[in-house]
Amino acid sequence: MLGSKRSSIAKLLLGVFVVYMLHTAWLLYGFLNTKSCDGGREEHCITSYLAARPRLQMSVFTCLVPDNSPLELAVKIDPFDPHSRFERRVHVSLPGETRANGTLFAVVYVHKAGVSPLEDSREVHYAVQLTTYITPSRTDVQKDKEKVHHHSGLPENPVSHWRPHLSLTVMSEDFTFTKAGLPSDVRRYMRVSQEGRQMMYLPLLMVNELDFRVRDLMEISSGTVQLPLTVSYEGISLRGFRFWVHLQDMVYSLQQFGFTDENIDEIKETLHINTDFFLALKNDISSWRKKKSMAGISRKTVLWRSLGTLLIFLYLLEETSLLVLLPVGLGACVEVVISISGVVNKLDEEERKTVEYDTQASRYLSYLVYPLCITNHQIHLVAT
């Protein structure tokens, strides 16, 4: 009786787990494959404003309070091409309120070229705070004084710090959404303009907070008149845009759970490294899928490289976190699959010539490597 009860509970838990995995797979499929609008009878399409290739301008202003204070132009990009990256370094003048331990905001506008953003009905803007309050960095002597203040019960006063880098991105892909199937993570960044029955969404503008690091902050003193600001931009696809939105939401949730700024910086660094790795892995897989022949590629090198990557993965398997093991393991799997496909496939005439050249080059190289190895071994024996 007890055994049958345990068996039924195990089956129930297994069923719940299977349903959960299927639901997760379905959500992941919907995330990676956003349905585009094909213009059917019952579908209401939302086209991209960028599809018409309008002449745009990007303007970055600074102000004390967004939408409620005068704007000071800091950066002007005219014309602005959403598909081209750029980087501008300027010096921003600080108002007296900011120098007196106050705040300063940046308001980024994408609008029609030659027209004030306040007069353009199809402008999009994004406000971000350029200053943040943290306790100032201290030297060793100051840390000793801090211990005295800590024992005396004096509180630490946070000081306004400057954010020297502003990373911007716009979803530059000409994608047509369906009104009924609009993703929720995109909807909050979307502003729709309608002319008659035609609806089009304005550029999806976002500030990439994952490039922001607390260690890059610069302390603002009362005598600071100007501070450097680097504004960088890069276009992004819809899939990449949604991916960054989810990552930023995850980091924000961790902040709400009480993670420190240093912990958040480490997480951002890990996410950034893994994102670059997955992008390189994707390009590597795409390159090998397009390759129809192994001509000009040494099969021995591919095989030894896959074995080396696999040995590195097995070595890291003992005492390494999953954040490191996951990309290394995926890379090892890709290398093994590539080496197996290269060995199993039949050789054509050009590949046979490549194998002959590879064998000949290996033989000539061995004439140099073997004496060096023997000499090094003898020197090591004499030294010991």
For residue 308, pLDDT beyond 90: no
Cβ proximity of 131 and 160 under 8 Å: yes
Across residues 107-119, what is the average pLDDT? 92
Q: How confident is residue 149, by pLDDT bands cut at 50, 70 and 90?
A: very low
For residue 329, pLDDT beyond 80: no
**Predicted pLDDT of residue 347:** 62
Which has the minimum average pLDDT: 52-56, 122-126, 136-140, 219-223? 136-140
Among 172, 245, 201, CA closest to 37: 201
Q: Is the pTM of this model over 0.75?
A: no
Q: CA 170, CA 131: separation in Å to the nearest integer? A: 23
Across residues 17-26, what is the average pLDDT? 74
**Predicted pLDDT of residue 224:** 85
What kind and span of H or E run contains 303? helix 299-316
Mean pLDDT value across the chain = 79
What own/partner pairs with CB < 8 Å and gap ≥ 24 does 269-276 have?
269/213, 270/323, 271/210, 271/247, 272/210, 272/211, 274/323, 274/326, 274/327
Kindly give, in sequence order, each residue whose CB lies less than 8 Å from that of residue 230, ignoring residues fewer than 6 positions away: 87, 88, 89, 164, 165, 166
Q: CA 54, CA 200: separation in Å to the nearest integer? A: 13
Q: How confident is residue 19, by pLDDT bands cut at 50, 70 and 90?
A: confident
Cβ proximity of 168 and 207 under 8 Å: yes
Q: How confident is residue 38, by pLDDT bands cut at 50, 70 and 90?
A: confident
**Predicted pLDDT of residue 6:** 66
Cβ proximity of 152 and 178 under 8 Å: no
